[in-house]
Amino acid sequence: MRVYVINLDRHTQRLARMRDVLGDVDFERIAAVEAACTGGPAHRHKLPLRFEDMTRFERACAASHAAAWQKLLESGASHACILEDDVLLSPDFSAFMADAGWVPEGCDVVKIETFAKKALISRQLQPCRGRALGRLYSTHLGAAGYVLSRQGAQKMLAHAARPARPVDHLLFDVPTIVAGLSVLQLDPALCMQLQKATHSQPEGEFQSSIQTSKDLAAKRGLPGKILWEITRPWRQLMDFLRQWRKRASLRGIKFQ
């Protein structure tokens, strides 16, 4: 199991914190792409990305994650854990990183993060080293921590050549998830974003660039908020139908 930490060159404090948090876990730093560098053609990143409907911060995030997917394929390893540099980790994290034997065969992605929201998970759960694995049937956003298999990386990079959505939507948003991607959720989760866990807005370089982006706020704006509210009943109905058809149940994914 490889461990990759996505980190901007200028975020030295974040990297130092991750070294402390990871302890004896070996990891490789993935140089994150700066948002300012995503205004031009995607081939600047030497990756097959298309960014039509994404903000510059979302483009940078997608390019950074794609670099980690590519690194996994080049490494020859069977799996990699991909982390953003603003996560809290469970004390059990290192035990799960010791090997990939706990990842079921044929699984492309295991979401090991919780976004502090309920998610629709298969009722039939698979025991996993004191936790449980279940198939994810509803949106559970966030891409701060997940385990990706080689075949999952190949599928994601192949899809990246098509019109893209933010990376966590492609991985964990049911309506836009990459076709044929097998996604499981680990419960309780092994990681959680710092600001989600502390219920406060970090300062300095620990502040989320994506969430403070004026670019993102302008993109959504009032029309986007109105559309989101109008479509809420439809999304709730779809969640109910998936719950009935897939024999799944809503679960609050804890961090532990």
pLDDT at residue 204 greater than cutoff 60: no
Are residues 185 and 140 in contact, defined by beta-carbon separation less than 8 angstroms? yes
Q: 2-252 belongs to which CATH class?
A: alpha beta
Average pLDDT over residues 207-216: 46
What span, in angstroms and rounded, lies between the C-alpha atoms of 93 and 112? 10
* Residue 41 preceded by cis peptide, ω within 30: no
* CB neighbour list of residue 79: distance below 8 Å, 6 or more residues apart: 1, 2, 72, 100, 103, 147, 148, 149, 150
Instruction: Tokens for 107, please give them.
Output: 């699984």
83 in Cβ contact with 5 (< 8 Å) = yes
Tell me the average pLDDT across 71-85: 97
Domain ranges in the chain are: 2-252
Predicted local confidence at residue 163, as pLDDT:
47
pLDDT of amino acid 230? 76
SS3 92: coil
The pLDDT value given to residue 49? 52
pLDDT value at 111 more than 50: yes
**What residue type is assigned to position 93 of the chain?**
F
The residues near 165 (Cβ < 8 Å, ≥ 6 apart) are 53, 54, 173, 176
For the cut 70, the answer to whether the pLDDT of residue 224 exceeds it is no
pLDDT, position 146: 98
Contact 137, 175 (CB under 8 A): no
Query: What's the rounded mean pLDDT across residues 184-204?
Result: 81
What does the alpha-carbon distance between residue 133 and residue 144 come to, in Å, rounded to a whole number? 18
Q: How many other CB atoms sit within 10 Å of the CB of residue 39? A: 10
Residue 210: the pLDDT is 46
- Residues 110 and 147: beta-carbon distance below 8 Å: yes
Selection from 15, 40, 46, 59 nearest residue 215 by Cα: 59
What's the DSSP call for residue 91? T
Cβ atoms of 169 and 141 within 8 Å: the answer is yes
Q: Is the pTM of this model over 0.85?
A: no
Give the pLDDT band (50/70/90) at residue 207.
Answer: low
- State the pLDDT confidence band at 42, using cuts at 50, 70 and 90: very low
Backbone angles phi, psi at 117, to 5 degrees: -135, 160
Q: What is the pLDDT of residue 108?
A: 96
pLDDT at 101 over 90: yes
252 vs 201 pLDDT, higher one: 252
Report, as an integer, the average pLDDT of 71-90: 97
How far out from the chain centre does Cα 118 lie?
16
What per-residue confidence (pLDDT) applies to 72? 98
